[in-house]
C-alpha cells in the first residue's frame, strides 16, 4: 500500500491495483448557493452552510497498467457520476467506454476540486454537455516541439448522465482538436501550482451535434434551458462549436472559452442561436511582491451569455473576484469568492445580484 492518488493498493506483482479517495466541499454562502437560472432563483435569498459536494472515487488497473477503470459516486445526490474503462497502451490511440464528463471544453472537464474559483462560470450550464454514456477514441500526437496535438473523437447516446437508451435514431457526436504549441500537454486543472518555468499553453476547437428531447445537461442529467418547454423525443437538434485558449507560466494561469450553440425546435420550427464566453486569470503575487504569502492566489473572471442573438437587451453577465489559500495544493484549500451578476434575460424586470461564498475543499487521503 502506498499513498499516491488517494490510498493505493497493489496485488500479484502489480498485475492489479486499486486506489480510492474521498473529497468534500463545505461551503458558507450568502444570497445564492448557485448561479440563478430562473427569475424565481433571484428572489430566493439565504445565508447558509452546505455540503456542496461529497464524493467517493475509485480506480486502478487489471492485468496490465494500460487496462484501467474509474468509478465516482456522489454521496450528496446519490448518483453514479463516472463509470468507465480505458485501454491506454499507445499514447497516440486510446479507447474509453462508459459514462464520464465529455472532453468538450476545459472548464467543464476540470474537476470541481481543481477549479480556480469556487464554481464554474454562468456559461457552463448553457453550453456544457456534461456527463454522457458512450465511447471515445483519443490520444496525443507528438511530432516534436510545436508539432504536438491532442484529439478526442466520441459518440454518445446524447441523453445525459444515466441516459443509456437513446430517444430517437440520432446519437451525439463530438470532436475536439487541441494544439499544444510548446510541445507539452497542459493539464486539465486550474491555478499554476506547478510554478511552470517554461511557458505551457493550449489552443483548442471543438464541435458537437445532438438530437434529443433536451436543450441542456448537468450532473442531474438532461434538462431544459430557461424558456424551453419539456421536449418530446427528438424534438431539439443542437449544434455547437467552441474555441478556447489556456496557459500557465511562473504562477500565472489563464483560461478563455468562446461558445456558439444553435437549438432547432423541430416540432415548432423555431431556431434559437446562443452565444457566450468567459475569460479568467489567476496569479501568485509572491513572484512580484517580496513577503507576499506563497500559498495565496488572487483571481478574476468575467463571463457573458446571450440566450438568443436575434433578440435585443437580453444579455447576462458575471463578474467574479476571489482568492485561494492552498494548504496542500488542490487536495486541501480554502477559497473566498465574490460575484456580481447582471441579467437582462428575465424581462420585464432587470435583475442584479451579489453572491459571497467561502469554501473549504479537502480530500481525505
pLDDT at 39: 83
What is the chain's mean pLDDT, rounded? 93
Q: Once rounded to an integer, what is the mean pLDDT over residues 176-201? A: 97
Percent above pLDDT 90 for the chain: 81
Three-state secondary structure call for residue 174 = strand
Per the structure, the count of domains in the chain is 1
Question: Average of pLDDT values for 204-220?
Answer: 96
- Per-residue pLDDT tens for 57-95? 999 999 999 999 999 999 988 899 999 999 999 999 999
d(CA 335, CA 326): 9
| pLDDT tens digits along 285-330 | 999 999 999 999 999 999 999 998 878 778 999 999 999 999 999 9
CA distance between the termini of the chain: 13
38 φ, ψ (degrees, to nearest 5): -140, 160
Question: Tell me: the pLDDT tens digits for 149-175?
Answer: 999 999 999 999 999 998 888 999 999
34-49 pLDDT, tens digit per residue, is: 888 888 888 788 888 9
pLDDT at 2: 44
What percentage of the chain carries pLDDT values higher than 70? Answer: 97
Task: Report the CATH number that the domain containing residue 36 is assigned in CATH.
Answer: 2.40.160.10
Q: How far apart, in whole angstroms, are the C-alpha atoms of residue 212 and residue 234?
A: 4
pLDDT, tens digit (0-9, with 9 covering 90-100), for 109-138? 999 999 999 999 999 999 999 999 999 999
Averaged pLDDT for residues 11-30: 90
The domain containing residue 83 runs over which residues?
Answer: 2-363
- Give the whole-angstrom CA distance, residue 191 versus residue 298: 10
pLDDT classification of 6: cutoffs 50, 70, 90: low
For residues 38-69, one letter each, b for 16 or more C-beta atoms within 10 angstroms of the residue's C-beta and e for the rest, the string is: eeebbeeeeeeeeebbebbbebbbeeeeebbb
Coil vs helix vs strand at 163: coil
Amino acid at each position: 500500500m502506498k499513498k499516491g492518488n488517494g490510498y493505493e493498493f497493489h496485488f500479484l506483482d502489480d498485475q492489479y491495483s486499486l486506489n480510492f479517495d474521498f473529497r468534500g466541499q463545505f461551503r458558507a454562502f450568502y444570497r445564492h448557493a448557485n448561479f440563478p437560472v430562473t427569475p424565481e432563483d433571484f428572489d430566493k435569498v439565504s445565508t447558509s452552510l452546505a455540503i456542496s459536494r461529497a464524493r467517493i472515487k475509485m480506480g486502478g488497473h487489471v492485468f496490465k497498467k494500460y487496462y484501467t477503470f474509474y468509478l465516482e459516486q456522489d454521496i450528496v445526490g446519490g448518483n453514479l457520476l463516472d463509470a468507465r474503462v480505458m485501454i491506454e497502451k499507445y499514447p497516440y490511440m486510446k479507447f474509453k467506454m462508459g459514462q464520464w464528463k465529455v472532453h468538450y471544453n476545459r472548464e467543464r472537464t476540470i474537476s470541481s476540486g481543481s477549479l480556480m474559483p469556487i464554481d464554474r462560470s454562468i456559461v457552463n450550464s448553457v453550453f456544457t454537455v456534461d456527463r454522457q454514456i458512450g465511447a471515445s477514441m483519443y490520444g496525443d500526437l507528438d511530432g516534436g516541439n510545436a508539432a504536438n496535438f491532442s484529439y478526442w473523437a466520441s459518440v454518445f447516446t446524447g441523453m445525459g448522465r444515466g441516459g443509456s437508451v437513446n430517444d430517437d435514431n440520432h446519437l451525439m457526436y463530438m470532436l475536439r482538436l487541441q494544439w499544444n504549441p510548446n510541445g507539452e500537454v497542459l493539464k486539465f486543472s486550474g491555478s499554476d501550482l506547478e510554478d511552470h518555468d517554461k511557458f505551457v499553453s493550449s489552443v483548442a476547437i471543438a464541435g458537437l451535434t445532438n438530437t434529443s428531447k433536451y436543450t441542456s445537461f448537468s450532473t442531474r442529467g438532461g434538462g431544459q434551458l430557461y424558456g424551453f418547454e419539456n421536449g418530446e423525443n427528438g424534438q431539439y437538434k443542437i449544434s455547437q462549436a467552441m474555441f478556447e485558449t489556456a496557459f500557465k507560466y511562473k504562477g500565472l494561469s489563464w483560461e478563455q472559452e468562446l461558445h456558439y450553440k444553435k437549438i432547432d425546435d423541430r416540432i415548432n420550427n423555431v431556431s434559437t442561436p446562443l452565444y457566450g464566453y468567459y475569460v479568467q486569470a489567476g496569479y501568485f503575487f509572491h513572484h512580484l511582491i517580496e513577503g507576499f504569502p506563497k500559498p495565496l492566489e488572487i483571481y478574476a473572471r468575467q463571463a457573458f451569455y446571450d440566450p438568443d442573438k436575434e433578440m435585443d437587451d437580453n444579455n447576462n453577465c458575471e463578474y467574479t473576484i476571489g482568492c485561494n489559500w492552498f494548504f496542500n495544493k488542490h487536495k486541501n484549500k480554502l477559497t473566498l469568492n465574490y460575484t456580481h451578476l447582471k441579467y437582462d434575460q428575465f424581462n420585464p424586470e432587470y435583475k442584479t445580484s451579489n453572491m459571497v461564498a467561502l469554501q473549504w475543499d479537502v480530500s481525505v487521503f
